[in-house]
Chains A and B, each alone.
Chain A
Amino acid sequence: MEINALMMDPKDNVVTCVTEVPAGQTVVYRKGDELCTITAKEDIPYCHKIALTDILEGGEVIKYGESLGKTSQVIPAGCWVSHKNLFSVPRDYDSEMLSHKS
C-alpha cells in the first residue's frame, strides 16, 4: 500500500492527502510505525484534509496536534475538511498571558 496522506501528529483528527483522492478510494497514512487507512466518501483535492472521525458541528479540527478552528457543520469520517466547513476563532491574547492567569 502506497502512502497518499500525511498525519502531522498522533492527536490529529484529519490527515492531509498528498495526491488527489477520488471518492471511494482508500487513503493510506502512517501513524507512528503503524499504517492506517480510511475510505474517502468525497473527492479530496491535492493537499487538502480528510476527516478521520465524525466531527460534530462546533467541534474542533485537530492538525499538528492543535486546533485549526471550529466546524460550521457535522463532518463525517471520510469527508473533505476545508474553509467551507471550518472557521478561525479570533485570539484572546490577554487570556493567553501567564501574567494574567496568576
Chain B
Amino acid sequence: MQFWGYKRKEGRAGIRNHVLILPTCACGSESCRIVASQVRGAVNIVFNTGCSDVAANTAMSQKVLTGFACNPNVYGVVIIGLGCETVPHTELKKKIQAMTSKPVVSFGIQDEGGTLKTIEKAVRAARDMAAEAAMQQKELCDISELLLGIECGGSDATSGIASNPAVGELSDLLVDMGASTIMSESIEWIGGEHVLAKRAATPEIHDQIIQVCKDYEAHLMANGQDCRAGQPTPGNKAGGLSTLDEKSLGCIRKGGTRPVVEVLGQAERPTKTGAILMDTAGYDISSVTSMVAGGCNAVIFTTGRGTPTGNAIVPVLKVTANARTYQKMEDNMDVDLSAIIAGTKTYQEMGAELVPVILDVCNGKLTKAEAFGFSDIAVDHVCRYV
C-alpha cells in the first residue's frame, strides 16, 4: 500500500509540509503565534517551559523541541528565542541542524530589539520558507513510511470493548503491511502489563515493559500516592469498569496484538519497525506531544465521551464507538464506530474499515481537529504527569 507524501532526506516521509514556528521558551510563544498567523502554511507551538529549570526538565524540553523540528510533517523551522532562556535559540538551531538537513533559522527577541522587529524578520523568513515548501511535490511513499501514534482519552465503557479493539485491529493490519505504530500511556498498562509483556519480541523487552510499570508505581509511591486509590474512578465504576485491571486491559487493546519490537522513553525516536511502545503519562495531551516529538506523522485517538484535541504538526483522527457522542459532537468526531456496540459489525470489520480512512488522512484529508487549527501541547517533566 502507498500514499502521497513529502519525501525527506532523513527518516520517514511527511504527510503534511508545515513551516514550524518554534519557541525556545514560554517567552517566545506569543511571538511565534503572531508569526504563524501571518504566513499561510506555517504552524506554531505554544511552549510552557524552557527557563528556570532543573537539568532533567531541560533535557526533556530539548528532546521535545528538537523532536518537533525533526518530525517528518515539518518542512522547515523558524525558531524564536528570548535571549536569557536555559538553551539559547542559536544553540537549539545547532542541535536541530545536527539532526536534520531541513532549513532552520532563528531569532532572539532581546537581540533584535523587541517583538515587532523580531516578528518582521521571522515573518519574512517564514514566508520564504513557505513559498519553497509549496513547491515540493508529493511523491508515492510506501506505507512503511507511516508511524501512527495511538492514543485514547475521554474514555468510557465503550472504549475498551469497541473503539480500542478496532484500533488495535487497524494497528495489526498496518504493521502486517510494513508500517509502524506507537502505543503509549504506561499508567494504563498497569494491571494488563503481563498481557502486554506477552507480546514482547524478546525476553529483554518483556522485562522492560514490567519495569516501566514497576518504576511508575514506585515514582508515585515515593510521593505518597497510590495509583489504585483513584482507579478506576467512580465514573468508571458506574460505567461498568470494575477494577484497574479491567480498565488497563481495555486500554492496551488499542495497540493490537503484534510483537512489541521496542520500548521507548518519552519523545524518543524509534529505531525499529513494527509495533512500538512509549513510556508516557496517561494524560492524553502530554502523551500525544511525546509521540509527535518521537516522529509520528499521524495520530489516531479513541474516545468515549468526546474530545476536541488536536496537534499543530500531526493530524489527530478522532474515533468513537459511542453513538450518542458521535451525534452530539460531530464537529469534533471523525469516525463513528458505534456499529460494534450495535452488534451489526465486529471490531475486526471496523478496524479494517479504518485502513482507507487513515490512508485518506495520509493523502492530505484534513481531520476535524486539523481544520480547526488546534494546537494542544503539554511537555512532561521530572515530576511527571499522571
Contact = CB atoms under 8 A, between A and B. Distances in A.
Interface of A: 2-4, 6, 8, 16, 18, 30, 45-49, 61, 63-64, 66-69, 81-83, 86-91, 93-94, 96-99
A5 to B, nearest CB: 8
Given A46-B240, A48-B240, A68-B249, A91 B190 contact: yes
A98 B203 contact: yes
Contacts of B245: 66-69, 88-89
Contacts of A96: 193-194, 197, 210
Given A16-B240, A68-B242, A93-B214, A47 B191 contact: no
A83 B232 contact: yes
Interface centre among A18, A47, A61 (most CB of B within 10 A): A47
Contacts of A99: 203, 207
B195 interface: yes
A5 B250 CA distance: 16
Interface string B215-249: 00100000000001000100001011011111001
Given A6-B161, A86-B242, A91-B191, A98 B207 contact: yes
B243 A69 contact: yes
A30 B157 CA distance: 19
A86 B243 contact: yes
Q: Enumerate the 3 nearest inter-chain pairs by beta-carbon distance, A residue then B residue, closest first.
A: A3-B343, A47-B157, A47-B240
A8 B243 CA distance: 16
Given A83-B237, A99-B203, A69 B242 contact: yes
Contact of B161 (A3, A16, A66, A98): A16
Interface centre among A6, A81, A93 (most CB of B within 10 A): A93
Contact of A64 (B190, B214, B253): B253
Interface of B: 156-158, 161-162, 165, 190-195, 197, 203, 206-207, 210-211, 213-214, 217, 228, 232, 237, 239-240, 242-246, 249-250, 253, 340-343, 346
B240 A18 contact: no
B161 A8 contact: yes
Contacts, number: 97
Contacts of A4: 343
Nearest to B304: A47
Contacts of A48: 157, 240
A82 B246 CA distance: 11
Contacts of A64: 195, 249-250, 253
B210 A93 contact: yes
A49 B243 CA distance: 12
A6 B242 contact: no
30 contacts: A2-B343, A3-B343, A4-B343, A6-B161, A8-B165, A18-B161, A18-B341, A45-B240, A46-B157, A47-B156, A61-B242, A64-B249, A66-B192, A66-B195, A66-B245, A68-B242, A68-B245, A69-B242, A69-B245, A69-B246, A83-B237, A83-B242, A88-B228, A88-B243, A90-B228, A91-B194, A93-B213, A97-B210, A97-B211, A98-B203
A21 to B, nearest CB: 12
Contacts of A82: 237, 240, 242
Contacts of B214: 93-94
B154 to A, nearest CB: 15
A88 B165 contact: no
A49 B194 contact: no
Contacts of B239: 47
Contact of A6 (B156, B206, B237, B343): B343
A2 to B, nearest CB: 7
Contacts of B249: 63-64, 66, 68
A98 B206 contact: yes
B141 to A, nearest CB: 35
Contacts of A46: 157, 240
A68 B246 contact: yes
Nearest to B156: A47
A49 B207 contact: no
A46 B246 CA distance: 16
Contacts of A18: 161, 341-343
Nearest to A16: B161
A68 B237 CA distance: 13
A39 to B, nearest CB: 18
Contact of B162 (A6, A68, A89, A90): A6
B330 to A, nearest CB: 21
Given A6-B161, A82-B237, A98-B203, A63 B210 contact: no
